Amino acid sequence: MALVETVRGPVDVDSLGTTLMHEHVFVLNEEVRRNYPGDWDETARIDDAVAKLTALAARGGQTIADPTVLGLGRDIGRVQQVAARVPVNIIAATGLYTYNEVPLYFKFRGPGAAGLDPMAAMFIADITDGISGTGVKAAFLKCAIDDQGLTPGVERVLRAVCRAHAETGAPITVHTHPHSGTGRDVVAILQAEGADLTKVVLGHSGDSTDLDYLTELADAGCLLGMDRFGIGMSPSLERRADIIAALCERGYADSMVLSHDAACYIDWYPHDDAKAGNYLYIHEHVLPALTERGVTAEQLEAMLAGNPRRYFTPPG
């Protein structure tokens, strides 16, 4: 039996079922929250997350992969309190989210002339020993590249992620910015580092309508994260669905995963719940739109369950 770590402990990968591959529970600036808590109510926020994930389970969602890492306010203790009360597996991540520089904490703990980047050692410890004494183990790695491209900080994190992937076999999810073609920069570094590209999700690929770009990355072996449904970002639902259907028609159903990039609570957007998203949007709107466009039940099953199961199945 192949096991994958979740916030509640290890489960059989075959039991993951319908898996949304990029959903946050909480996205916060913890330093701001602690100093300027405003109307933050810990109990109410946890209850709200429990309600939203319970509703997802009622629609058939069984697992979410939560790529909330350093830079996004990861607090595993808070997520544990949610996980204990919902019939949904939550898979935790390790890594670092930056579009440019690394935090000063890391700047002055740089990689030595030889040896392992201390950042990579931290990621590895989250996967092998657990996160900050909770016993919860991360099961995938997360980093980011955006329109600023492959800055020295972004490249350092990506290479540290690759080192941790090589050491542990944990799969990788990268926030990319398709409009600046950054998926290609990521693939180049991953290939140079000898990463297993079949264990890589290029997140936010669904923002692209460029079939040449998308098939190039899929042909390299990567999974395309078609993952910003219902959070008010361009392109529209219809256009995103057109692209997924076109890729399915060309034989790429095994190269895509679906998600919302929603959060129960995100502090980036003041007074705008719509941007936090809705975990039910795929079941309510996306699956019907894909079916209408000729995507088969088997292809949906691949994107929602088969591909996530393959991604989280440990090597060897």
Residue with smaller CB distance to Zn ion, 73 or 153 = 73
Cα dihedral sign, 167-157-278-9: positive
Residue with smaller CB distance to Zn ion, 5 or 146 = 146
Q: What is the footprint of Zn ion within residues 76-115 (CB under 5 A)?
A: none
Phi and psi at residue 202, in whole multiples of 5°? -90, 95
Instruction: Give dist(CA 129, CA 132) in Å, integer.
Output: 9
User: Taking Cα atoms as reference points, which of 64, 53, 119, 130 lies closest to residue 312?
Assistant: 64
**What is the amino acid identity at position 263?**
A
Q: Where are the alpha helices (DSSP H) in the chain?
A: 30-35, 42-58, 76-83, 104-107, 118-128, 152-168, 182-192, 211-219, 237-249, 273-276, 281, 287-292, 297-301, 307-312
Cβ contacts of 134 within 8 Å, gap of 6 or more:
76, 77, 80
CB of 106 to Zn ion, least distance (A): 21
Residue with smaller CB distance to Zn ion, 173 or 299 = 173
CB of 229 to Zn ion, least distance (A): 12
Q: What is the footprint of Zn ion within residues 20-59 (CB under 5 A)?
A: none
Residue with smaller CB distance to Zn ion, 117 or 261 = 261
Residue with smaller CB distance to Zn ion, 142 or 253 = 142
Cβ contacts of 163 within 8 Å, gap of 6 or more:
116, 117, 120, 124, 193
Residue with smaller CB distance to Zn ion, 146 or 261 = 261
Residue with smaller CB distance to Zn ion, 143 or 243 = 143
Q: What is the footprint of Zn ion within residues 246-275 (CB under 5 A)?
A: 261
CB of 95 to Zn ion, least distance (A): 12
Residue with smaller CB distance to Zn ion, 161 or 295 = 161
Phi and psi at residue 138, in whole multiples of 5°? -70, 145
Pairing of strands 140-144, 89-95: parallel
CB of 282 to Zn ion, least distance (A): 15
User: Taking Cα atoms as reference points, which of 146, 80, 93 lies closest to residue 122?
Assistant: 93
Q: What is the DSSP letter of 222?
A: P
* Number of alpha helices (DSSP H) and beta strands (DSSP E) in the chain: 14, 12
Which residue has the closest beta carbon to Zn ion? 261
CB of 80 to Zn ion, least distance (A): 20
CB of 173 to Zn ion, least distance (A): 9
**CB–CB of 264/26 below 8 Å?**
yes
Binding mask 159-188 for Zn ion (x = CB under 5 A): ------------------------------
Q: Where are the beta strands (DSSP E) in 35-171?
A: 63-66, 89-95, 140-144
CB of 243 to Zn ion, least distance (A): 19
Number of residues interacting with Zn ion: please give it, by CB under 5 A.
Answer: 1
Q: Tokens 């256009």: give the residue.
A: 239
CB of 159 to Zn ion, least distance (A): 21
The site for Zn ion (CB under 5 A) is made up of: 261
